[in-house]
Amino acid sequence: MLTCPFIPMFRRSLGFLCFWGLFGGQTDGQACQTETVAPRVNVLLICIDDLRPELASFGVPYIKSPNIDRLASRGRPFFRHYVQAPTCGASRYTLLTGTYGPSNNNALFQRSRNIQSASLPGWFRQHGYTTVSVGKVSHHPGGRGGKNWDDDSILEMPQSWDRHRLPSGLWQHPRGAMHGLSHGEIRANPKEMDVFQSTEGADEIYPDGLITATALEELTRLKASDQPFFLAVGLLRPHLPFGAPARYLTPYKNLRLPTIPHPQKPTGKTTWHGSGEFMKYNRWQQNPNKDAAFADQVRKHYAACVTYADTLTGRILDRLDHLGLAEKTVVVLWGDHGWHLGEHAIWGKHSLYEESLRSPLIIACPKMQAPGKPSKAVVETVDIFPTLCDLTGLVKPAFLSGHTLLPHLEDPSLTGGAAVSYRGAIKTIRTTTHRLIQHADHTELYDHQQDPGETRNVSQDQPDRVIKLTEQLKRHLDSNAKSK
């Protein structure tokens, strides 16, 4: 039985599911005597693409993120949350299946050909929830395949959603919206599309404005139903290209940004790469690694996209409050991976450095204890599925690889933990003090107590630590392989 004082407590008595605590019933742990089933807790999952912990509530004070910060103030921000893979599709695979998996963007489509276990929304759907996705929740916005990602016969996540929506508007189809700029501009040849843009107009001149409007519509529709809901909303920004309405750039135009930490290209064998996703766009023949002024322009446009996504997040949270749903809804805000803004001379994701793998995670529950206090424990995306089961009273399926974060929601002072990530055959484990990156014929070890920027490989200096972390990494992956 759950003992967390701010979370719904659950007990099965006489075949009925009984709730107390959150809904005003008993709190002394005695058996529930009522013979009626209390309302179930809803879930609102907000996924934000390419969002590094570039938020005021996560220690970046110059970023304007009042709405996400508001959520953090009433929830539990996890300052050391790590994704399993530094790429959209593979990271979302872990979130939506609760297991480790392939490290490519087609991971969910590969799974769809041989489904052996329920997805996260599918599990809730099996247990009586209405499940709805809006925007980019799985890798393809709207969750479909085909040439323009709008083929209803090719689903990224079969048996998962009652409705999966992507309003295309002027962008014609989900593929067009994915990398769309203002007023319906669709990416064809990336070299002909600007890497960043700031255009005067309303929020709806970019795809995320339409996604948010649809999410608000769905919340109102779900409120009218008598079923609990699992609503997932996926915002595209700050994914490349960096485009947002002009007013979101205004706070940053004349701002003096802090210096980029450790901007040098690393030496030796690492997971450094040439920022190919970023460099393929039109950059007006400028390179941010060689031009500090241009680098600042890029960073400011990224920040503008974060503030744009924050405003849209605020609209969703406001609608939740307005509809009277906040007190019976668990809210999870999740960034699908980090993003380099010049650290290690990388502009993008796809490395196994801290900047690629660390992303924001906030979990907000009604009547939380110590709201707003951050957790500094090392946690993983794979932990979200079992946590949501605990928070809603659903039994956890046996195939899950992660561990519930319930103890950290009850007590934010808990520390420890480890997170495993991968990119192809290269694997890494992050503990509270170190990061080990294991190549086939080479090892990187970074001591975060002395070198939080991961700039000096100390594997030769700490051979015992290498052995210990290599064994821990193997045990972690082996135990999860056995659980599948």
Cα gap 163→453, rounded to integer Å = 43
Residues 6 or more apart whose Cβ sits within 8 Å of residue 110: 102
Which structure tokens are listed for 64? Answer: 């304007």
Among residues 18, 32, 47, 139, the one annotated as catalytic is 139
Secondary structure tally for the chain: helices H, strands E:
12, 20
- Alpha-carbon distance values, 9 to 5, 129, 329 (Å): 8, 19, 14
Among residues 18, 88, 365, 389, the one annotated as catalytic is 88
Q: What is the 3-class SS of 40-96, one letter each residue?
A: CCEEEEEEECCCCCCCHHHCCCCCCCHHHHHHHHHCEEEEEEECCCCCHHHHHHHHH
Cα gap 211→2, rounded to integer Å = 36
Task: Count Cβ atoms below 10 Å from residue 360 Cβ, excluding itself.
Answer: 23
CB 241, CB 281: distance < 8 Å: yes
Is 88 annotated in the active site? yes
Task: Count Cβ atoms below 10 Å from residue 166 Cβ, excluding itself.
Answer: 28
Which structure tokens are listed for 313? Answer: 């997040």
Is 139 annotated in the active site? yes
Helices marked H in 197-263: 207-223
Looking at this protein, which amino acid is placed at residue 96? L
CB 158, CB 167: distance < 8 Å: no
Which structure tokens are listed for 334? Answer: 């999740």
Cα gap 226→95, rounded to integer Å = 27
Cα gap 358→351, rounded to integer Å = 11
Residues 6 or more apart whose Cβ sits within 8 Å of residue 154: 109, 144, 145, 146
Catalytic residues: 88, 139
